[in-house]
Amino acid sequence: MFPMDRLGRPLRDLRISVTDRCNFRCPYCMPQEVFGRDYRFLPRDEILSLEEIARVAGVFVSLGVQKLRITGGEPTVRRGLPELVAMLASLRTPEGGPLDLAMTTNGSALRALARPLADAGLGRVTVSLDSLDDATFQRMNGVDFPIAKVLDGIDAALEAGLGPVKVNVVLKRGENDGGILDLASWARDAGHILRFIEYMDVGTTNGWRLDDVVPAMEVVEAISARWPLEAVPARYTGEVAERWRYLDGGGEIGVIASVTRPFCGDCTRARISAEGKLYTCLFSAVGHDLREPLRAGESDAALAERVAAIWGVRDDRYSERRAAATGHLPKIEMFALGG
């Protein structure tokens, strides 16, 4: 039997953070002032090995997970990623079907990695790209990383058969919201699927203010005024993005309105941090350690029971409660959980 949480939500998606490190310092995620040279990232023996990750993923798949997303930190800085992908791609659902296997990346290393990852069995990639303007992009990645390399990485992903590529855009008021139409025009021409994400109050270090959020409907209206859009019905329960289709056949966009239109009621996502903690909500303050039992030799069946018990008492709905929340609750950082 697949577990249901207290609000009747099944466990369908698992996001696996394969590292807490990143070569970027996006201010909304890992601000340089906090994640500078002195910041202590997890030592190697504290992060799950590739084999341990694959084993944990197998346990979740036995409980009904159908979608795996590899993330971070920046997943491509983890050594041996294609080997991990090969292990994950060989997992099968209890019915014997393949899994939906995707990765979210900042795109900086895709020129070198897209092909080996595709060959190993990766299905799709989502690339984060907040602006097409090089100066804005360099400011928003915090390390002056040139946009040309990310655009080339996206091309490499397409060449390797990892398309259509989804492109995540985090919008911050006054920072990159002037570039919405440029991004839309580019993605329409290239066949990419844009996903506009409302800037969230993840973690405690990014100095989030509600005024910084560009509401998803504002984005839809701005784009629709230029290229009319219509809403697309959700494909499945728990779909994160609200989808909109161009009436002229120019593809679709998605908006992830976690601040202005919370979607906790359908949330079927669990997350594993690089050190092997299970989080039942992006905004959970505490994780459940799976590394210790894993390393103590607990069987897959016992691990599955452990995870099912944690999921069975889950009642998270942080985004829906946000309005009432004080904003001072302890929270895990986005880079630790991978979005």
- State the residues that interact with ligand SF4 by CB under 6 A: 22, 24-26, 29-30, 72-74, 106, 128, 263-264, 267, 269, 281-283, 316-319, 335
List binders of ligand SAM among 225-264 (CB under 6 A).
none
Name the binder of 30 from ligand SAM, ligand SF4, none, CB < 5-8 A by kind.
ligand SF4
Q: Which of 19, 128, 176, 205 binds ligand SAM (CB under 6 A)?
A: 128
> In the 8-state DSSP scheme, what is residue 283?
T
Stretch that binds ligand SAM, among 38-46, 198-206, 267-275, 299-307 (CB under 6 A): 198-206
Compute the distance between CA of residue 276 and CA of residue 89 in angstroms, rounded to an integer: 20
Confirm or reject binding of residue 338 to ligand SAM (CB under 6 A).
Answer: yes
Compute the distance between CA of residue 167 and CA of residue 159 in angstroms, rounded to an integer: 16
List binders of ligand SAM among 5-24 (CB under 6 A).
22
Name the binder of 168 from ligand SF4, ligand SAM, none, CB < 5-8 A by kind.
ligand SAM
Q: How far is the CB of 127 from ligand SAM (least distance, A)?
A: 7
* H helix and E strand count, the chain: 11, 12
Compute the distance between CA of residue 274 and CA of residue 332 in angstroms, rounded to an integer: 13
Upstream peptide bond of 94 is cis (omega within 30 degrees of 0): no
Confirm or reject binding of residue 102 to ligand SAM (CB under 6 A).
Answer: no
Helix H or strand E segment including 50: helix 50-62
Compute the distance between CA of residue 103 and CA of residue 192 in angstroms, rounded to an integer: 15
Name the binder of 202 from ligand SF4, ligand SAM, none, CB < 5-8 A by kind.
ligand SAM
Name the binder of 317 from ligand SAM, ligand SF4, none, CB < 5-8 A by kind.
ligand SF4
Which residue's entry shows tokens 């099968």? 92
Q: Which of 54, 110, 197, 229 binds ligand SAM (CB under 6 A)?
A: 197
HSE (side-chain half, CA atoms, 13 Å) at 176: 28
Confirm or reject binding of residue 104 to ligand SAM (CB under 6 A).
Answer: yes
Confirm or reject binding of residue 199 to ligand SAM (CB under 6 A).
Answer: yes
Question: If we measure between CA atoms, which residue out of 105, 112, 61 comes closest to residue 87?
Answer: 61
B/e letters for 199-231, b = 16+ CB within 10 Å, e = fewer, are bbbbbebbebeeebbbbbebbbeebbeebebee
244 or 263, CB closer to ligand SF4?
Answer: 263
* 111 and 131 Cβ atoms separated by less than 8 Å: no
62 or 128, CB closer to ligand SAM?
Answer: 128
SS3 137: helix
Q: Which of 57, 87, 154, 170 binds ligand SAM (CB under 6 A)?
A: 170
Residues in contact with ligand SAM by CB under 6 A are 22, 28-29, 71-72, 74, 104-106, 128, 168, 170, 197, 199-200, 202, 206, 334-335, 338-339
